[in-house]
Structure 1
């Protein structure tokens, strides 16, 4: 079996094929943040948490926040590490724990970015996500070769400016 990844999908969207049986990923758009021989890491960007608000999240974390946080959606980033809090964001990229994904997108999961967002001082564009999606070595590659996923380039418009319930349809149009 070939253990070299055939195409690095870091910085791409993957969309679940219609009819994908896994309920965690049905009708989802996932932003891939890392993809190498060790596996892959991504975040579902179109599933808003049905109950949790920005204010509740910051209060749970003991972070002082202003009233702007009432408008912040919290997304369900995936079934792995469901209590982990992650931020996909545009610049600036100076936060303590930041992984650059593309020239305009990064992933952070440090307290400093969350405190800045809670005070309205964070990046201008961001998504806060609970949990992530993870794949073991070659798992995503095998799923891609089995046609479980459709792929396309990342889109800032889809990620940050499109309503969550329209992201899947819009991403599908990029294929």
Structure 2
């Protein structure tokens, strides 16, 4: 089966989802999500603006027995979403990949193997990246229904939104600004023509 096409064909893989101000699910309020995969089977993404403060990259490397410690490079840890919170994913630039890396539209990739952590700790690996614990997931038709219900906006990704270290609200506002949208002017209901 062929991979679904780009957003213009109805699939949003590689796009950034921005929660509307009316999002009433506290797990996703004011969230910015990189949608890594989207097909008829569902969707999977990584929340970009929820950092983990009580666990460091060094702590994680110790737990996984990855050397060197201290590492030559570090990346920030994020709460990637409410699904499988103990599973790690590195969202990164596509200049590095391994056999299990998933290519994402727009020049990015997602890797879930410890090889990428070893490469980063050793001073190599991708130019930019973030480590997410968990992910956001949607079943068949669920994301499309939420978008139709005015829960999400989408915008093309860029490295600044994906990898810049900012607080939750600043990244959300910057993602909306990319659409030239003032969050104070957004309404929480969808209209029909």
Query: What is the TM-score of this pair, normalised by structure 1?
Result: 0.91
Between 14-23 and 65-74, the greater mean CA deviation after superposition: 65-74
Alpha-carbon distance, 1:122 to partner: 1.2
Distance verdict in 2 for CA 1:21–1:10, change over 3 Å: same
- The corresponding residue for 2:126 is 123
Task: Structure 1: state its 5+ residue gaps.
Answer: none
Distance in 2 between the 1:157 and 1:50 partners?
A: 21
Alignment: residue pair count: 171
Q: Which residue of 1 aligns with 2:92?
A: 89
1:106 to 94, 109, 119: 109
Which aligned runs of 4 or more in structure 1 are off by greater than 2 angstroms? 65-72, 91-94
Q: Tell me which structure has the larger Cα radius of gyration.
A: 2
The answer on whether the counterparts of 1:159 and 1:167 sit within 8 Å (CA) in structure 2 is no
Unaligned stretches of 5+ residues in structure 2: 1-6, 180-193
Alignment of 1:50-69 (within 5 A): 50-68=53-71
CA distance, structure 2, for counterparts of residue 115 and residue 47 of structure 1: 24
What is the match of residue 168 of structure 1? 172
Give RMSD over aligned pairs. Answer: 1.8
| 1:64-83 equivalences in 2 (<5 Å) | 64-68=67-71, 72-83=75-86
Please, what TM-score do these two structures have when normalized by structure 2?
0.82
Among candidates 158, 161, 183, match of residue 158 of structure 1: 161
